[in-house]
Amino acid sequence: MLFNSIDFAIFLPIVFILYWFVTNKNLKQQNLLILIASYIFYGWWDWRFLSLILFSTIVDFTIGKKLKFEKNETKRKALLWASILVNLGFLGYFKYYNFFLDNFISAFSFFGSEINPSSLNIILPVGISFYTFQTLSYTIDVYKKNLEATEDFIAFSAFVSFFPQLVAGPIERATNLLPQFYHKRAFDYSQAVDGMRQILWGLSKKIIIANNCALYANQIFNNSTEHSGNTLVLGAIFFAFQIYGDFSGYSDIAIGTSKLFNFNLTQNFAFPYFSRDIAEFWRRWHISLSTWFRDYLYIPLGGSHGGLLKKIRNTFIIFIVSGFWHGANWTFIVWGALNAVYFLPLLLTKRNRSNIDIVAKGKILPTLRETFSILVTFSLTIIAWIFFRAENINHALQYITDMFKNPSSFIAIGIYWKYKQALILLSVFIIMEWLGREEQYAIAKLGLNWKKPLRYSLYYILILSLFWFGGKEQQFIYFQF
């Protein structure tokens, strides 16, 4: 069920009414309603994969309870590894089986041996990478004694399958979301209004920005050899804003929807394209995944402590694993490795935490130095995104090579005019994002001090723009991950 669909527009009000007007006096009934609604939401794609979520839920709930009472450290580690192997086993089978098989065959072919095992026609369950990491966080935190194991199976099941963020995040930690299922929730009008505003902005990102950019990005990437260097540059920019508008838009809708039910989710994007270096970018892009890898992989490996080789090793591991998490393709691995190359000089010179605060905080415009840093960081990010979007590594390398061929300002004028609507929409979007960069999302406080007619005009303009400028419907990019 897509957030930007008629199905969801009917589904959400029904769940909202039942939640606040039928089950509002009983916490267990509310949690059960959330659980049923979440299974309906996920089963809308393919009900068969509900068994995977249910099995993972039962496994980690059971292991969590056993960890609670087990004192023997060897047995505790065995329980932890049972959870890791079951969850990553499912993820590996559905997402990476054919990737490893195809590369295994290629390796034998390289040495002159031919083997012909057949690949499986495996359907990738929507959102499996997200809910797998979410339920794993519970087992790991219980093992580390950062969280007490729950005795409430309904609450835990609702946590694992919570429909607003089930299929594309944010990846919620058990320490943040699970306790919210234990306490009675009262309707908060101001929070609900804020949630609706964030949903509106998320839909604007997805429908107005991402869908329009996707139309041109797909045209250019799919026929890259037919376009000039200027057009290819625009194609890369369009994809950069497509993936940002698409993914951060989903997160905004998820967070806003959760607020309607008085749940607070983690901020997943913090205006990453205004970053002044790659380290800052990764603190602001897909925050829930970056911090997950930091806490459960990077720090256990030793983090940035130790010798030079260890720092380099840990940096490449974290970024390459992050790339591989995104998909079973060498392009994602190269994308991750390239970001490691970007990040490493900052880490080794201890400048990876130079830009912690919001850029130009309290000011209207950035300094020239900040502007230059933002543009350089954005340019490096765009180069990396080409590998993320390309069909294969050769396509990415050819695309980058052709970008720098035959640049022409005269041709560029005609190109910009051809894509004028998308460029105008992007310009307005960037301005609004810049003005709201100190908040959780761009229009969180934009217009709140205006007179009511003017403030509501802003919201009506956005709503009308959804229909007027809404590009061709595109599935959310991160559903494939």
Q: Which residues are catalytic?
A: 326
Query: What is the Cα–Cα distance from 46 to 308, expressed in whole angstroms?
Result: 48
Residue in the structure block whose two tokens are 């005019």 = 417
Helix (H) or strand (E) holding 122: none
Q: Which residue's structure tokens are 């897509």?
A: 2
The answer for residues whose C-beta is within 8 angstroms of residue 234's C-beta and 6 or more apart is 216, 220, 415, 416, 419
Distance CA 271, CA 372 (A): 17
Q: Where are the alpha helices (DSSP H) in 116-173?
A: 128-143, 153-161
Phi, psi of 306 (to 5 degrees): 95, -170
Q: What one-character-per-residue DSSP string does 428-467 give?
A: HHHHHHHHTTTSSSTTSSTTTTS-HHHHHHHHHHHHHHHH
Asked if 48 contacts 123 with a C-beta cutoff of 8 angstroms, the reply is no
What's the token pair of residue 124?
């990738």
Tell me the residue type at 304. S
Query: CA-CA distances (angstroms) from residue 3 to 192, 198, 203?
Result: 17, 13, 8
Q: Mind giving me the DSSP string for 340-408?
A: HHHHHHHHHTT-TTS--SPTTTT-SS--HHHHHHHHHHHHHHHHHHHHHHSSSHHHHHHHHHHHTSS--
Cis bond upstream, residue 170 (ω within 30)? yes
Could you identify the residue written with the tokens 């695309």? 399
